[in-house]
Amino acid sequence: MFNKNNSRRKMKKIFQWEEYLNWRKMSKDQKLNFKRACLFPFLVYMIYVFLNQYSIAILLLLGLYFLIRFKNRNKLKR
């Protein structure tokens, strides 16, 4: 089930908290991934605030769009 013969392959590290604490030894890709991970909650919060504020307007516009589309589709069939 497990391939024990290939012990020289490099494993991808998923949890790298020890490496994130040593900023100077990190590669550019690791630094970029760490910055993305730290900024992701702020992006989610901004999207949440936007949708919380404009959700009713977005739903009304979508409803109006589909209503007009439905009425125009019935006119073409006649």
pLDDT at res. 5? 62
SS3 for the chain, per residue? CCCCCCCCCCCCCCCCHHHHCCHHHCCHHHHHHHHHHHHHHHHHHHHHHHHHHHHHHHHHHHHHHHHHHHHHHHHHHC
Task: Name the residue range of residue 32's domain.
Answer: 17-74
Q: How many domains does the chain have?
A: 1
Residue 10, in any domain of the structure: no
- For residue 6, what are its two tokens? 């290939």
Residue 21, in any domain of the structure: yes
Residue 6, in any domain of the structure: no
Taking the model in full, what pTM does it have? 0.56
Residue 44, in any domain of the structure: yes
pLDDT at res. 18? 72
Could you report the per-residue pLDDT of 18-76, keeping only the tens digit for each?
Answer: 776 788 888 898 889 889 989 999 999 999 999 999 999 999 999 999 999 998 887 76
Residue 69, in any domain of the structure: yes
Residue 4, in any domain of the structure: no
